[in-house]
């Protein structure tokens, strides 16, 4: 009986112990979920809330409406148009492989690509954006669950390839070239965010939540370009390049008094609506990015510097060595041999030797100062991407050969925009204006964010010097000048031709068969309404600026003058006067105007006086000696003919 009692007592102790253990364990087990719940609700609250939100809603980024671009008359150059895009909500597409296969035939994409987009990840995915309406209709006809169509804004250029290199184009989400790229921050607007509710199965509910952030509309850009003037420039340039077999070309038309760019054309161009079909080289805006040697158009700068520094005046004469001139064992040639020429004759006949001699007299320090003052070696700051600075070494490093070459536009690199801006400084009477192509940028509410206004960068030369240079440039387009093909009936035209050899980098020397032909000028010359430049790169039919570029310049500028209603200043049928015929080109002598057919008596006159009288004969002049005229051929009263010889000796006293 004792054993049973002992055993019974032991069992009772065991039971009591187990009860106590369970009594302790149960509260502990109850505390664990409570503790877990406390942990989750307090410490993991934010992360769990975020996960819950991710599972119960879908955040969609909504593309903004891109701002439009207009010309100066309010004509659209780039706008946004609604286009369909194809999307899918992955969880709603039951048979992804089948859906990919059926969609591939309509979207023109591979089945594997579409399946990968549907299979990888969750939620919303674009399948193909900005498709043609017929493609969207095909997708709609498939009636695939989880696949839908949403309207987006696509960039559209209503004038096709007009001003393509200026405007650039837009990729899927941002501007990639031209103004679309450089003004991206203004044009793009701001992305919107919209939230869609999802059910327990991950399907989007029909009604979205209110906007968390609506899309912001981009700003509107108003350009100085005139759509019609741009058309004239592009049409003339395209026809001229094709006729001459040229590789490329540039044309710029500027409003002289303000610096506004009315047209900026590059050939070959491209259609920004279909930019993928064109070579990337066509995207280039050659007007600001092409760096070339300006050739004889640069003589305007050299002559202006000489006049402003009073090293020469327009009546001074220089001997042009009959077409061959050596500087430090380097030979400089003229296309045609010339003897004595005034500064006006150097411009009119485009003598490299004459310009070199002028530059050598001006000197590297003074000429370098004017080259930089005219804007070379520095960007203009126009709001276009890819603008070049040009190539201009510091004048302190110029040798005599460098100075001679730069004087006629060889040995430095400029952009077309720099060159036309420099020529415009003559048209304005000596002021260098800042060129600009963006007139203003306005917000969606009409607030002006940016406003460009005409601005004078600096005074380059005096008004008197500018007028003298302009008169010299007029003779270029008159009969006998190198730019006669740029003359426009009814208007006086001031301009300068240029023909430059291209530098062959592979050979390290100038090419013998690759040239750049150019013409730059303004009209009407006395009250300019248009300043313009045409550059033809590598013409094959003929290479000279007067033959290749000048007719293109005349064609586009004459159309522009008529479009701008610029009143003709002369009788439309009257030919341009030839006041400086022959090799010698200078102003009329107001005192004596001898019979053009008879040889005047020049004995006892200085060379300058004699040449002034011979300016009316049209004869070329050969001079021997220095001093005053002591002999002449033909003799006084005889027929002048085409050539005159003068014998000079120093004046003796007593």
Residue 191 lies in a domain: yes
3-state secondary structure of 525: coil
Rounded to an integer, the average pLDDT of 183-190 is 90
Contact 470, 289 (CB under 8 A): no
Which of the two residues, 364 and 56, has the higher pLDDT score?
364
Q: Are residues 99 and 244 in the same domain?
A: no
Range of the domain at 631: 588-654
Q: Are residues 149 and 248 in the same domain?
A: no
Supply the pLDDT for residue 456.
Answer: 95
Residue 571 lies in a domain: no
**Residue 413: beta bridge partners?**
391
Split into its structural domains, the chain has a count of 3
Supply the pLDDT for residue 246.
Answer: 95
Rounded to an integer, the average pLDDT of 123-145 is 87
Q: Are residues 217 and 252 in the same domain?
A: no
Q: Which residues of 560-571 are buried (b: 16+ CB within 10 A; e: fewer)?
A: bbeeeebeeeee
How far does Cα 647 stand from its chain's mean position? 54
Helix H or strand E segment including 110:
none
Contact 576, 487 (CB under 8 A): yes
- Taking 70 as the threshold, does the pLDDT of residue 432 lie above it? yes
Residue 16 lies in a domain: no
Q: Are residues 401 and 519 in the same domain?
A: yes
Residue 622 lies in a domain: yes
Q: Which of 182, 289, 296, 482 is catalytic?
A: 296
Q: Are residues 495 and 357 in the same domain?
A: yes
Helix H or strand E segment including 504:
strand 494-504
Contact 636, 599 (CB under 8 A): yes
Rounded to an integer, the average pLDDT of 134-153 is 87
Task: Kindly report which listed range (263-272, 313-322, 624-633) carries the lowest average pLDDT score.
Answer: 624-633
Q: Are residues 511 and 379 in the same domain?
A: yes
Which of the two residues, 216 and 113, has the higher pLDDT score?
113
Tens digit of pLDDT for each residue in 523-554?
999 999 999 999 999 999 889 999 999 999 99
Task: Kindly report which listed range (192-201, 296-305, 385-394) carries the lowest average pLDDT score.
Answer: 192-201
pTM: 0.77
d(CA 328, CA 391): 23
- Taking 50 as the threshold, does the pLDDT of residue 595 lie above it? no
Q: Are residues 308 and 338 in the same domain?
A: yes
**Residue 78: beta bridge partners?**
69
Tens digit of pLDDT for each residue in 336-370?
898 999 999 999 999 999 999 999 999 999 999 99
- The CATH number of the domain where 596 resides is what? 3.30.10.20
Local confidence band at 575 (pLDDT 50, 70, 90 cut-offs): very low
d(CA 113, CA 97): 11
Tens digit of pLDDT for each residue in 365-393?
999 999 999 999 999 999 999 999 999 99
Of the chain, the percentage scoring pLDDT greater than 70 comes to 83
Which of the two residues, 606 and 467, has the higher pLDDT score?
467
Cα distances from 371 to residues 359, 395, 418, in angstroms, run 11, 10, 11
Supply the pLDDT for residue 493.
Answer: 97
Q: Are residues 538 and 614 in the same domain?
A: no
Query: What is the Cα gyration radius of the chain?
Result: 39
Task: Kindly report which listed range (117-126, 200-209, 333-342) carries the lowest average pLDDT score.
Answer: 200-209
3-state secondary structure of 152: strand
Most confident of 144-153, 304-313, 334-343: 304-313
d(CA 618, CA 621): 9
Mark whether 462 is an active-site residue.
no
Residue 488 lies in a domain: yes
Q: Are residues 424 and 518 in the same domain?
A: yes
**Residue 518: beta bridge partners?**
498, 535
Local confidence band at 579 (pLDDT 50, 70, 90 cut-offs): very low
What value does the mean pLDDT of the chain take? Answer: 84
Residue 250 lies in a domain: yes
- Taking 80 as the threshold, does the pLDDT of residue 20 lie above it? no
Q: Are residues 99 and 199 in the same domain?
A: yes
Tens digit of pLDDT for each residue in 22-43?
777 777 777 777 666 666 677 6
Strand order in the sheet with 261-267: 261-267, 248-254, 530-537, 509-523, 494-504
d(CA 643, CA 622): 8
Contact 379, 388 (CB under 8 A): yes
Name the DSSP class of 103.
H
d(CA 357, CA 118): 75
Residue 23 lies in a domain: no
Contact 368, 395 (CB under 8 A): yes
- φ, ψ of residue 451 to 5 degrees: the values are -135, 115
Contact 314, 342 (CB under 8 A): yes
- Taking 80 as the threshold, does the pLDDT of residue 54 lie above it? no
- φ, ψ of residue 7 to 5 degrees: the values are -65, -40
Q: Are residues 516 and 600 in the same domain?
A: no
- Taking 60 as the threshold, does the pLDDT of residue 587 lie above it? no
Supply the pLDDT for residue 7.
Answer: 60
Rounded to an integer, the average pLDDT of 117-131 is 83
Tens digit of pLDDT for each residue in 88-97?
888 888 888 9
Q: Are residues 303 and 180 in the same domain?
A: no
Residue 2 lies in a domain: no
- Taking 90 as the threshold, does the pLDDT of residue 631 lie above it? no
Rounded to an integer, the average pLDDT of 221-240 is 97
Local confidence band at 52 (pLDDT 50, 70, 90 cut-offs): low
d(CA 260, CA 71): 12
């Amino acid at each position: 009986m004792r054993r049973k009692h002992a055993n019974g007592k032991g069992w009772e102790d065991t039971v009591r112990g187990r009860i106590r253990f369970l009594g302790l364990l149960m509260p502990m087990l109850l505390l664990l979920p409570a503790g877990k719940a406390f942990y989750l609700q307090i410490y993991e609250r934010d992360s769990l809330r975020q996960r819950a939100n991710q599972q119960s809603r879908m955040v969609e980024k909504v593309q903004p409406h891109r701002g439009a671009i207009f010309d100066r008359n309010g004509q659209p150059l780039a706008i946004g148009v609604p286009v369909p895009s194809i999307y899918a909500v992955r969880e709603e597409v039951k048979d992804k492989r089948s859906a990919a296969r059926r969609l591939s035939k309509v979207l023109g994409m591979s089945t594997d690509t579409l399946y990968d987009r549907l299979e990888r990840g969750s939620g919303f995915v674009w399948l193909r954006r900005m498709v043609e309406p017929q493609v969207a209709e095909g997708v709609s006809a498939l009636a695939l669950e989880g696949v839908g169509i949403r309207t987006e804004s696509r960039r559209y250029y209503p004038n096709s390839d007009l001003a393509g290199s200026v405007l650039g184009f837009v990729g899927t989400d941002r501007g990639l070239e031209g103004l679309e790229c450089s003004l991206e921050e203004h044009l793009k607007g701001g992305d919107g965010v919209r939230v869609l509710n999802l059910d327990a199965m991950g399907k989007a509910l029909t009604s979205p939540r209110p906007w968390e952030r609506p899309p912001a509309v981009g700003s509107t850009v108003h350009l100085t370009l005139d759509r019609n003037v741009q058309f004239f420039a592009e049409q003339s340039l395209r026809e001229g390049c094709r006729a001459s077999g040229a590789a490329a070309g540039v044309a710029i038309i500027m409003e002289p008094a303000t610096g506004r760019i009315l047209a900026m054309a590059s050939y070959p161009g491209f259609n920004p609506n279909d930019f993928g079909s064109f070579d990337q080289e066509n995207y280039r805006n050659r007007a600001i990015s092409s760096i070339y040697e300006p050739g004889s158009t640069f003589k305007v700068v050299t002559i202006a510097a000489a006049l402003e520094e009073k090293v020469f005046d327009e009546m001074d004469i220089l001997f042009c060595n009959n077409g061959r001139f050596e500087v430090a064992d380097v030979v400089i040639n003229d296309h045609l041999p010339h003897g004595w020429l005034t500064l006006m004759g150097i411009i009119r006949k485009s003598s490299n030797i004459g310009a070199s001699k002028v530059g050598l007299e001006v000197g590297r320090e003074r000429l370098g100062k004017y080259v930089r003052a005219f804007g070379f070696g520095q960007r203009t700051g126009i709001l276009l991407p890819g603008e070049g600075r040009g190539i201009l070494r510091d004048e302190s490093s110029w040798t005599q050969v460098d100075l001679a070459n730069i004087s006629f536009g060889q040995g430095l690199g400029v952009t077309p925009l720099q060159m036309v801006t420099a020529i415009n400084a003559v048209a304005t009477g000596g002021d260098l204006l800042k060129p600009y192509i963006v007139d203003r940028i306005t917000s969606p509410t009409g607030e002006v964010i940016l406003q460009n206004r005409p601005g004078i960068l600096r005074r380059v030369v005096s008004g008197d010097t500018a007028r003298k240079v302009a008169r010299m440039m007029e003779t270029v387009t008159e009969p006998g000048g190198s730019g006669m093909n740029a003359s426009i009936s009814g208007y006086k035209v001031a301009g300068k031709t240029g023909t430059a050899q291209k530098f062959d980098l592979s050979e390290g020397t100038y090419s013998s068969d690759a040239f750049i032909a150019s013409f730059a000028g303004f009209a009407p010359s006395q009250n300019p309404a248009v300043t313009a430049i045409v550059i033809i790169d590598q013409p094959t039919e003929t290479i000279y600026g007067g033959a290749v570029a000048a007719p293109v310049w005349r064609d586009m500028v004459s159309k522009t003058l008529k479009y701008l209603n610029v009143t003709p200043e002369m009788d439309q049928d009257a030919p341009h006067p030839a006041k400086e015929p022959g090799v010698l080109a200078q102003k009329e002598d107001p005192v004596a105007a001898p019979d053009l057919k008879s040889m005047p008596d020049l004995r006892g006159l200085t060379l300058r006086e004699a040449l002034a009288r011979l300016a009316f004969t049209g004869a070329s002049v050969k001079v021997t000696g220095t001093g005053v005229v002591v002999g002449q051929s033909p003799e006084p009263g005889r027929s002048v003919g085409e050539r005159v010889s003068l014998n000079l000796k120093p004046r003796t006293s007593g």
